[in-house]
Amino acid sequence: MVLNRGLFITFEGIDGSGKTRQLELLTADLKKADLKYLLLREPGGTSISEQIRKILLDRKNTEMSAETELLLFAAARAQLVKQIVEPALAAKTIVISDRFFDSTTAYQGYGRNMNVDFIQNLNDFATQGLQPDLTFYFDISVEAALNRLQNRTEKTDRIDLESQIFMEKTRAGYLQIAERNPDRVILIDAERAPEEIYKDLKLQFDQAIDSVKC
Ligand SMILES: Nc1ncnc2c1ncn2[C@@H]1O[C@H](COP(=O)(O)OP(=O)(O)O)[C@@H](O)[C@H]1O
Ligand SMILES: [Mg+2]
């Protein structure tokens, strides 16, 4: 299938909301449909951004200040956008990112009580104004997310060690972001079975693809 431009889609939600699971379902379908796509995860995706990721997630870095953390996320993203996302979109690729700037607004802004307007300006600076065409926000209660994570085998990182209150503030932040960006952000009830969630997601995704088909 040929597209007349690239498409930038981001997946957002607290840990345990099911982003990775839904990405697996979507990318399986994209492969079948022979669509040109690129899957990214934040922070990371370039050599520099992966080096920054290590610093951000290292459990030994207990002394990291909230400001340092914010700027490191922004720096990793700035590099990713310039080096990977912009060129891929210019080549009419579907770029899908597991987290993007809404994570910074939700976690650092709402979760850590830093100035949300400033963070949004910083996000714009880091991405040179690039916005996702579509964002899927997977909404789930903190309790349900934590229940799911208890069964997960991945190692806990520095950010996973945060308190339940931090997660609640982050979720509330995501809900604000969804409310303020109704044209971009699609709120998905993520407490359902994976297949049910995916049905909703795929419908919206296909509509987005239809809008850029040649
Ligand atoms: N809809 C769902 N219902 C129940 N469990 C789920 C669902 N989606 C994902 N899970 C499980 O919950 C855990 C977290 O899901 P994951 O996709 O890794 O979330 P995230 O990437 O948002 O942190 C995993 O063990 C996963 O298998
Ligand atoms: Mg994940």
The answer to whether residue 2 sits within a structural domain is: no
Please write the tens of the pLDDT for every residue from 109-119. Answer: 999 999 999 99
Single pTM value for the model? 0.95
CA–CA distance, 153 with 150 (Å, rounded to integer): 8
Which residues face 97 on adjacent strands? Answer: 10, 40
Q: Is 19 in the pocket of ligand 1 (CB under 6 A)?
A: yes
Q: What percent of the chain has pLDDT over 70?
A: 100
Interval between CA 195 and ligand 1 midpoint (Å):
12
DSSP code of residue 10? E
Question: Residue 122: is its pLDDT beyond 90?
Answer: yes
What pLDDT does 26 receive?
98
The predicted structure's pLDDT at residue 53: 97
Q: Is the CB of 15 under 6 A from ligand 1?
A: yes
Helix, strand, or coil (residue 60): coil
Is 13 touching ligand 1 by the criterion CB < 6 Å? yes
Q: What are the pLDDT digits (tens) for 73-83?
A: 999 999 999 99
Calculate the average pLDDT of the chain.
Answer: 95
Q: How far is the CA of 210 from the centre of ligand 2 (A)?
A: 27
H or E element, residue 38: strand 37-41
Name the domain count of the chain.
Answer: 1
| pLDDT over threshold 90, residue 10 | yes
Cis peptide before 43 (omega within 30 of 0): yes
Query: For residue 1, is it within any domain?
Result: no
Quick one: tokens of 154?
Answer: 């991945």
- Answer whether residue 95 shows pLDDT above 90: yes
CATH number, position 18: 3.40.50.300
State which residues form the domain around 97. Answer: 7-212
Ligand 1: which residue has its CA nearest to atom 24? Answer: 152
